[in-house]
Structure 1
Amino acid sequence: MVSLTGKDLKWAYIGNRGFAVLWGSRIVFQLSATSKTGDGVALARAGQIGARDRDVVVVDTDGLFDNIRDTQLEHAVQIGTRLEFSAKEHGWHICWAAYETSR
């Protein structure tokens, strides 16, 4: 779970999905099931990080981080940012990159 409260991005994690925060098209924070071994409550963690204008937060769904490398994610966000994509367009672009990799 991820929520934005003022300038704080608060998160809670139980080891199944994850998210990445990109500043200037570079991953500066990432938490995902692929970065830990196993699943479940034993991996439960919570925290917060500072957020800045124009940060991009990508929340993992089933198969996203399994099918996209960090460099591909950074590149997709860089393109979307340069082209001034909406959040929805960013999402579609990132999903398409993951889909192409999975093939």
Structure 2
Amino acid sequence: MIGDPWDGAVLTWVLGDREPVFPHLTGSWGADRELLMARLDQASTDPEVCAALDRLDVHYLYSSGSELWGGGDVQAQPFTTITAAADAPGFEIVAEQGTARLLRITACD
């Protein structure tokens, strides 16, 4: 599962027993994770994104719609593309509650 750790996606690990791609707010992520952080919203047009998702065995995106800490932290900015992916082509809503959504990544099917 992938999601912006600044919007609560890290809680999928403890609440849903699903380890997120970004389990911490900051870190050294490696090439595939860095690529997804920069271009996840382009999954429907960029085969490199699908290849990275495949290597990491990622099939779902979690998006809460807002940052838990009120936004504005400069360290959260690299994850904005992940948040944008929830409204990009290639992502299908599976479940939603309020502004929180679970989306299946269909761009790589």
Both structures adopt the same fold (TM-score exceeding 0.5)? no
Considering fraction of residues, name the structure with more helix. Answer: 2
Q: TM-score, normalised by structure 2?
A: 0.23
Considering fraction of residues, name the structure with more strand. Answer: 1
User: Highest relative contact order (Cα 8 Å, sep 6+), 1 or 2?
Assistant: 2
Q: TM-score, normalised by structure 1?
A: 0.24
Structure of larger gyration radius: 1
